[in-house]
């Protein structure tokens, strides 16, 4: 099957070699560890044999653990790193990481206004680098930050952008049509893709997650299968649910998806960008 999980975090309790960032303690880590062998133990049972790793917040801008995991199994893993976009040289740091299996960079508003967050720091420099190097900017945002992304993509139409977790629609409040409209409107920007992911955290937040089907169908109709990729957001997916319950929603339960569509969501979109790009 050779499916790809496009969003997984890993971390270790080896604090000597991989110290936590300022502000984090071992007590913050839940679960205490999640190793590459842990994710593969879950994923391979479901036909998923490649994984895109997302830099974990516990390490902030020190991507060392993720990079070492990629280096140990470069045919299995790719990465999305984090660089400090509020200090000079962000694009230089991006370029240093690209040759180490990194194909994208996570960004988020933090404490900045979601309406204007991309006007701060060095985001313009990062978007320009993304266009030049064909690496993605990967926003972790709620729907209120999407208009700012749209404006930035109008300025940098060649920059790949991959939005995490369906813009977290339905994470904190019930799913709203206007939020789905906002996400779907971004389909006009040709280089935006969306991760159809983190089902455990959206809507009713319980399997079989069929309550998410109408939203996923609307996003599918707007973007098409070649701009969508499935992901679990492990280890959080497997805290109260199983890995199978995530992949099964796409593989088995959405009648509007053809077999070809499923291939794009479960493998080909992520494969083309992260493993062949």
Question: Using one digit for the tens of pLDDT, what is the confidence trace for 5-25?
Answer: 999 999 999 999 999 999 999
> What is the distance between the terminal CA atoms of the chain, rounded to a whole angstrom?
21
Residue 213 near residue 247, CB atoms below 8 Å: no
Query: Mean pLDDT throughout 79-98?
Result: 96
State the CB neighbour count (10 A cutoff) for residue 175.
17
Q: Does 70 score more than 80 pLDDT?
A: yes
Query: Mean pLDDT throughout 114-136?
Result: 95
Beta strands across the sheet bearing 77-81: 3-8, 48-54, 77-81, 102-107, 136-139, 161-163, 192-197, 228-231
Q: Give the pairing type, strands 136-139 and 192-197.
A: unpaired
Q: What are the residue ranges of helices labelled H in the chain?
A: 36-43, 64-72, 90-98, 123-133, 146-155, 177-185, 213-223, 237-240, 243-252, 259-263, 269-270
Q: Where are the domains of the chain?
A: 3-275
Q: Would you list the DSSP string of 36-80? A: HHHHHHHHGGGTEEEEEEE--GGGTT--HHHHHHHHH-TTTEEEE
- The model's pTM is 0.97
- Contact residues for 189 (Cβ-Cβ < 8 A; gap 6+): 150, 153, 154, 157, 161
- Contact residues for 191 (Cβ-Cβ < 8 A; gap 6+): 153, 157, 158, 159, 160, 161
Question: Using one digit for the tens of pLDDT, what is the confidence trace for 199-235?
Answer: 999 999 999 999 999 999 999 999 999 999 999 999 9
Q: Does 82 score more than 70 pLDDT?
A: yes
For the chain, give the percent of residues with pLDDT over 90: 97
Q: Which CATH number among 3.40.50.2300, 3.20.20.140, 2.60.120.620, 3.30.70.1140 corresponds to the domain 3-275?
A: 3.20.20.140
Residue 200 near residue 241, CB atoms below 8 Å: yes
């Amino acid at each position: 099957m050779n499916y790809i999980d496009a969003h997984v975090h890993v971390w270790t309790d080896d604090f000597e070699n991989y110290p936590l960032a300022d502000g984090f303690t071992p007590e913050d880590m839940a679960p205490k560890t999640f190793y590459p062998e842990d994710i593969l133990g879950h994923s391979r049972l479901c036909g998923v044999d490649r994984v895109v790793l997302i830099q974990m917040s516990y390490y902030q801008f020190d991507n060392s653990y993720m990079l070492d995991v990629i280096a140990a199994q470069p045919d299995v893993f790719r990465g999305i790193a984090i660089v400090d976009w509020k200090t000079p040289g962000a694009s230089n740091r991006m370029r240093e990481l690209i040759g180490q299996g990194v194909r994208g960079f996570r960004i988020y508003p933090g404490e900045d206004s979601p309406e204007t967050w991309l006007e701060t720091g060095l985001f313009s420099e990062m978007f320009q680098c993304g266009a030049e190097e064909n690496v993605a900017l990967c926003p972790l945002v709620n729907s209120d930050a999407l208009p700012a992304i749209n404006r930035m993509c109008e300025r940098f139409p060649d920059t790949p952008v991959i939005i995490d977790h369906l813009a977290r629609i339905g994470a904190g409040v019930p799913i709203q049509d206007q939020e789905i409209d906002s996400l779907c409107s971004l389909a006009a920007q040709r280089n935006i893709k969306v991760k159809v992911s983190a089902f455990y955290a959206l809507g009713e937040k319980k399997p079989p997650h069929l309550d998410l089907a109408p939203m996923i169908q609307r996003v599918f109709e707007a973007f098409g299968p070649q701009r969508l990729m499935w992901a679990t957001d492990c280890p959080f997916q497997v805290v109260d649910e199983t890995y199978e319950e995530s992949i099964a929603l796409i593989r088995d339960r959405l009648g509007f998806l053809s077999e070809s569509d499923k291939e794009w969501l479960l493998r080909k979109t992520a494969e083309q960008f992260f493993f062949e790009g």
